[in-house]
Amino acid sequence: MLWRRRRARAGARARHATERTTDYIDGRLPLLEGGGLLRKAFPDHWSFLLGEIALYSFVVLLLTGVWLTLFFHPSMTEVVYHGSYRPLEGVRMSAAYESTLDISFEVRGGLLIRQLHHWAALVFLAAIGLHLLRIFFTGAFRRPREVNWLIGVTLFLLALAEGFAGYSLPDDLLSGTGLRIAQGIMLSIPVVGTYVSMFAFGGEFPGEDLIPRLYSLHILLLPGLLLALIAVHLILVFHLKHTQWAGRGRTNRNAVGKPMFPQFIATSGGLFFMVFGVLTLLSGVAQINPVWAYGPYRADVVSTGSQPDWYVGFLEGSLRLVPPWETAVAGHTVMWNVLLPAVVLPGALFAVLYAYPFVERWVSGDRGEHHLCDRPRDNPVRTGLGVAAISCYGVLLAAGGNDVIAHAFRISVNTLTWVFRIAFVLLPPLAFMVTKRICVALQEADRERLTEGEETGEVRQTIAGGYQESHEPLDEERRYVLRARVPAEPPAPAEAEGEVPRARRLRATLSTWYYGDRVVPEEGERESSADELER
């Protein structure tokens, strides 16, 4: 009995101490509010994990990048190599290139970490790109998530700059060729091009200051901006809640999924170790960026068959496709063959990405909040534009290796270049039209499936001698999703065209063109919710 009383008193003291400690911390930090976040629901669809792959690749980048800074020397001072890689013995090179060779051949595990850093950078950018495509095709950028879309596009832009800066640090012949192209792009800017080049390189190319400047950007400024924007992005995800796919029990007013603790944390933690393991496996078995094979950078040498990393390959392709157009104006030469593909094109690309949510809202007239994801077929024009942009990117990426393709298939480089030029003009609008028609056809198939049921594949002969397909009813879940998502048939106009105000008629025309067969309600009206449709 005495032992039980002592244990009860000890338990009471422990509870009292825990309560006091909790009150003390909660009075200074949002402890209890943070505990409530642990029950936040996260959808468990695989497409929502693309952003997490990007996040975990960035974590790997930070870990390996910190390790690499301990051994890398960001200096362009000329030295003579006397390391373990015999083919370069006695060759003059920069201290940056020498330290890269030392990391690869003399530091224990150095080559594995360096390749892990490079692979993580490629996966990081690929995951961000796929994540943006998922958000675009599902309409997850719409109100109230426009700011998060802008942050995501900015993250992609910063990641491109961060990747190019890190790619250029070893000062090998391949990265030096890329820097020479970058200097030509700077010089193509009218009026201020020479000043921009002198500022970036600290003098005439290649100068002595570029590698130290890129190093500061690569390890301080750009990672700091990325960390800050990622933090804001995650805060907005928590605040605005996740989008989700349509289904029974899922509406614009709730979020259905796994609670953050413990289910989602367990799943997400397992994904982190999978990403880390796959990247480590790639780093151990797949060679990437063998700088020793290229040699040190020399301004009078260009590497043969040089190809940049995939994320800047479209710029290389655009530079190769534009004819040698130049214009002399008041004693100044405007190099359109460099300015258009390398300055105007990427500027226009990111301008469109930044402006798209607001342009779509204006064109469609849809100003409501959206927490349910669209299927790509639900918005034929948006999907068509996305596929057209992807086809355009694919043409430019392939054009970036036109010399390698021509050599491999033994065809003329000039002929291949013209093929890519024609494809760049004709393929995007063709992809848009085909994709839009496919989306409309899929909508029609959904309507038939909703009214007639699912085809069983059986064909029966009728008494009259004809043939008839048999159908079976849809299950309740699929029927609910289709009734919530299938666009309705457009109703006949209630007013004569001449009596409708011009602004409203223009808006209706744009909305009908944009959404295909779906009709967007006018201001003051609202769409029927999934619950109302079910009733």
Average pLDDT taken over every residue of the chain: 85
**Residues 309, 170, 228, CA angle at the centre, nearest 5°?**
70
Kindly tell me if the per-residue pLDDT of 40 is higher than 80.
no
Measured CA to CA, the distance from residue 168 to residue 526 in angstroms comes to: 53
Kindly tell me if the per-residue pLDDT of 138 is higher than 90.
yes
With bands split at pLDDT 50, 70 and 90, how would you rate the model's confidence at 503?
Answer: low
Question: Among 71-85, 124-138, 236-250, 343-357, which stretch is predicted with the lowest mean pLDDT?
Answer: 236-250
Query: Measuring CA to CA, how many Å separate 394 from each of 135, 246, 289, 380, 418?
Result: 20, 32, 23, 21, 16
Handedness of CA 253, 257, 263, 264 (dihedral sign): negative
pLDDT in tens, 275-334: 999 999 999 999 999 999 999 998 887 766 677 888 888 999 999 999 988 888 877 788
Handedness of CA 309, 223, 48, 515 (dihedral sign): negative
Q: Which helix (H) or strand (E) holds 166?
A: helix 146-168
Kindly tell me if the per-residue pLDDT of 513 is higher than 70.
no
Q: How many CB atoms lie within 10 A of CB 73?
A: 18
Percentage of the chain exceeding pLDDT 90: 52
Contacts of 319-328 spanning 24+ positions with Cβ under 8 A: 319/181, 320/399, 320/400, 320/402, 320/417, 321/396, 321/399, 321/417, 321/420, 321/421, 321/424
The residue that leads in pLDDT, 429 or 191, is 429
Averaged over 368-394, what is the pLDDT?
93
Kindly tell me if the per-residue pLDDT of 517 is higher than 50.
no
pLDDT in tens, 398-441: 999 888 899 889 999 999 999 999 999 999 999 999 999 999 99
Measured CA to CA, the distance from residue 89 to residue 81 in angstroms comes to: 6
Torsion, Cα 164 170 176 181, to 10 degrees, reads 10
Averaged over 474-484, what is the pLDDT?
75
pLDDT in tens, 239-290: 888 888 887 778 777 878 888 777 888 888 999 999 999 999 999 999 999 9
With bands split at pLDDT 50, 70 and 90, how would you rate the model's confidence at 529?
Answer: very low
Quote the pLDDT of residue 528. Answer: 39
Question: Among 8-12, 20-24, 35-39, 358-362, which stretch is predicted with the lowest mean pLDDT?
Answer: 35-39
With bands split at pLDDT 50, 70 and 90, how would you rate the model's confidence at 2?
Answer: low
| Residue-by-residue DSSP string for 301-368 | ---TT----GGGHHHHHHHHHS---EEEETTEEEEHHHHIIIIIHHHHHHHHHHHHHHHHHHHH---S
Query: What SS3 class is residue 462?
Result: coil
Q: Which tokens is 103 given?
A: 């990391």
Number of H helices, E strands in the chain: 21, 8
Quote the pLDDT of residue 416. Answer: 94
* pTM, entire model: 0.84
Quote the pLDDT of residue 501. Answer: 59
pLDDT in tens, 217-235: 999 999 999 999 999 999 9
The residue that leads in pLDDT, 480 or 112, is 112
Question: Among 66-80, 337-351, 475-489, which stretch is predicted with the lowest mean pLDDT?
Answer: 475-489
Mode of pairing for the β-strands spanning 326-329 and 454-461: unpaired
* Residue 209 phi, psi (nearest 5): -105, -10
Helical segments of 400-524, H only: 402-409, 413-452, 476-485, 502-515
Q: Which of 450, 445, 472, 440 is nearest to 533 (CA)?
A: 450
Averaged over 523-530, what is the pLDDT?
39
